[in-house]
Amino acid sequence: MPKKLKIALILLLFILLIMSGCGPRTTKPETNEGAAQEEKDKGKKDATSGASMANYTPLEELKDSYDIVIVGAGGAGMSAALEAKAAGMNPVILEKMPVAGGNTSKASSGMNASETKFQKEQGISDRNDLFYEETLKGGHNTNNKDMLRFFVDHSADAIDWLDSIGITLNNITITGGMSEKRTHRPKDGSAVGQYLVTGLLKNVQEQGIPIFVNANVKEITKQDGKANGVKVAFTQHGEKTIAAKSVVITAGGFGANMDIIAQVRPDLEGYVTTNHEGSTGDGISMIEKMGGTTVDMEEIQVHPTVQQENSYLIGEVVRGEGAILINSKGERFINEMAARDSVTAAINKLPEKKAFLVFDSGVRSRATAVEEYVKMGFVKTKDTIEALAGDIGVPADQLHKTLDTWNSAVKNKKDAEFGRKTGMDHDLSAAPYYAIRIGPGIHYTMGGVRINTNTEVLDQNGKPIPGLFAAGEVTGGLHGENRIGGNSVAEIIIFGRQAGIKSSEYVKTAK
Ligand SMILES: Cc1cc2nc3c(=O)[nH]c(=O)nc-3n(C[C@H](O)[C@H](O)[C@H](O)COP(=O)(O)OP(=O)(O)OC[C@H]3O[C@@H](n4cnc5c(N)ncnc54)[C@H](O)[C@@H]3O)c2cc1C
């Protein structure tokens, strides 16, 4: 082929490639995670199909004014947007990261809810009152009781709402501090977060709700004491003020902001964090500048089972499906299903401040999140208990004894050593055997801005700041001193929806 023709063909191919990569007026999220999810999603028919191919709204479509501005595209923000749209509003979502999802995409174990249709179908008899009492006990009786009552009473409805928009959480497990199976997750038992974000994003797009990424909200604006918009800095496009009749802050917690953590909890300096990098507490500082107040800021949840080298959370589901924790002597040392603060305290009392999660192939098949941990290279695998003991450096005879004692406890439904009562449906006897080395890590910020059950942000006198709403991890009070695993995903759907509903009512009635 003549050289000139060759060059022309290469040029033509290059132009065609560029054209196919740039759809009209759209941008694509640039993550491998997104691409992997696209592959996984192919062929599925529910709301989670294809949403990871999400195209965010191009900046040219940004308007000067909306009914409602929602800050943060995690689970709370997208739920609020969907309810606002359903109420006839014109909402917009602004997200500072290049992709939607926040900490919500990282959620692994599931979403707690009581008296749900899926529990009933599966013969799990549960009560909202029991869910209330156990959450209160987990929070050491410091939870905001009005918020908690609203939360448990609306949890089943939240599961139904998700199901109605194609996000079905019908596989039920259990987390620490709970006595009933009420942690809802996708049908195949996989991690809840990616599934939820993909499904919510798809709905947001189908409803034509604009969602701008790389949009870092810096300030809430006000007039006559009422929130009336935001100032937002777009990466590479400068700052803009957007007017709104109401502002909803769903910007997440501050688990990745080591400056705030060092201020409120100096003892946690040096801990790893499981949070995504956008969890910097911006929403809290913006709301404080508007006269909002905070609660429980020093209450930071340290998760007991974090793979330290990659700060990667090993979900509670692994213990919920039967794993045990052992120390360097190969002995159990705690009821693994106790609330997170107790398990963390027990690990911190060990001289090495680290422990091993030990489980068998049965746990691996029931907790599909384990596949991810295997892929990441966190999991030691051996065909025998002796070989596993050798690999992780604990005495083989003791590990054998520990597993024998545990398997008898499971068989007799009585853990005489530590009083564990849940996550005991199956023993640990199916080779191969597995171990993951874990230690505690910063995981969740219980504290945040003070709201009421209408998600209105409260000022120092406990009065709502007109036009300002907040929901999700940016708020405090619901969990008190200690959050139960699975309650945050429930919180973001329940109170995220409520923020969408109440901010819409405000817009309709405000003069
Ligand atoms: C590893 C991990 C596993 C978890 N597993 C579970 C679980 O199984 N069950 C459970 O109940 N909970 C779990 N949690 C907790 C739960 O996922 C979060 O608390 C919850 O998803 C928070 O949702 P959100 O919508 O409030 O905030 P996020 O999902 O964090 O969303 C907030 C968004 O706001 C954006 N934002 C922040 N500041 C700005 C700004 N200035 N301008 C614009 N945007 C901004 C952020 O980038 C982010 O995208 C887990 C958390 C982690 C980290």
Name the one residue in this structure whose structure tokens are 């530590």. 418
From ligand 1's centre to the CA of 104, what distance in Å? 4
What number of CA atoms fall less than 13 Å from residue 218's CA on the CB side? 10
Atom of ligand 1 nearest to the CA of 255: 53
pLDDT at residue number 52: 45
Q: For ligand 1, atom 8, which residue shows the shortest CA distance? A: 109
Banded pLDDT at 511 (limits 50, 70, 90):
low
Q: How far apart are the first and last CA of the chain?
A: 74
pTM (predicted TM-score): 0.84
pLDDT at residue number 29: 30
Least confident range of 200-209, 262-271, 393-402: 262-271
- pLDDT one-digit tens code per residue, 346-357: 999 999 999 999
Give yes or no for residue 13 having a pLDDT over 60: no
Query: Does 91 sit behind a cis peptide bond, omega within 30 degrees of 0 on the bond before it?
Result: no
pLDDT at residue number 39: 34
Residue range(s) occupied by CATH 3.50.50.60 in the chain: 57-299+446-510
pLDDT at residue number 259: 96
Give yes or no for residue 384 having a pLDDT over 90: yes
Atom of ligand 1 nearest to the CA of 108: 8
From ligand 1's centre to the CA of 320, what distance in Å? 22
Atom of ligand 1 nearest to the CA of 104: 21
pLDDT at residue number 200: 98
Q: Ligand 1 pocket by C-beta < 6 Å: which residues?
A: 71-77, 94-97, 101-104, 106-111, 192, 215-217, 250-252, 274-275, 278-279, 282-283, 313, 444, 472-473, 485-489, 492
- pLDDT one-digit tens code per residue, 23-57: 323 233 322 223 233 333 333 334 554 444 457 99
From ligand 1's centre to the CA of 95, what distance in Å? 12
Q: Average pLDDT of 475-484?
A: 96
Q: Quote the tokens at residue 219.
A: 């300030």
Q: Quote the tokens at residue 238.
A: 């400068």
Contacts of 202 (CB under 8 A, 6+ apart): 47, 48, 49, 50, 51, 54, 166
Ligand 1 pocket, mutate which of 489, 491, 493, 498 (most atoms under 8 A from CB) = 489
Atom of ligand 1 nearest to the CA of 75: 25
Residue range(s) occupied by CATH 3.90.700.10 in the chain: 302-441
From ligand 1's centre to the CA of 102, what distance in Å? 5
Of residues 137, 223, 216, the one with CA closest to residue 176: 137
Give yes or no for residue 82 having a pLDDT over 60: yes
From ligand 1's centre to the CA of 52, what distance in Å? 17
Q: Is 340 an active-site residue?
A: yes
Ligand 1 pocket, mutate which of 103, 105, 444, 455 (most atoms under 8 A from CB) = 103
Contacts of 511 (CB under 8 A, 6+ apart): none
From ligand 1's centre to the CA of 107, what distance in Å? 8
For residues 226 and 247, give the distance between their C-alpha atoms in angstroms, rounded to a whole number: 10
- pLDDT one-digit tens code per residue, 179-236: 999 999 999 888 899 999 999 999 999 999 999 999 999 999 999 999 999 999 998 7
Count of CB atoms situated within 10 Å of the CB of 178 = 26
pLDDT at residue number 48: 53
pLDDT at residue number 54: 56
List 340, 364, 366, 420, catalytic entry: 340
Banded pLDDT at 85 (limits 50, 70, 90):
very high
For residues 263 and 190, give the distance between their C-alpha atoms in angstroms, rounded to a whole number: 36
For residues 227 and 244, give the distance between their C-alpha atoms in angstroms, rounded to a whole number: 8
Name the one residue in this structure whose structure tokens are 């995220």. 496
8 Å CB contact between 80 and 500: yes
| Mean pLDDT score across all residues of the chain | 90
φ, ψ (nearest 5 deg) of residue 242:
-115, 130
> Helix, strand, coil: what percent of the chain each, to 5?
40, 20, 40
For residues 105 and 193, give the distance between their C-alpha atoms in angstroms, rounded to a whole number: 4
pLDDT at residue number 308: 94
For residues 62 and 239, give the distance between their C-alpha atoms in angstroms, rounded to a whole number: 12
Structural fold of domain 302-441: Flavocytochrome C3; Chain A, domain 1 (3.90.700)
Ligand 1 pocket, mutate which of 33, 94, 99, 104 (most atoms under 8 A from CB) = 104
Count of CB atoms situated within 10 Å of the CB of 225 = 13
CA angle 314, 366, 329 (to 5 degrees): 50
Domain 57-299+446-510: top CATH class: alpha beta
H helices present in 350-483, as ranges: 361-366, 369-375, 385-392, 396-412
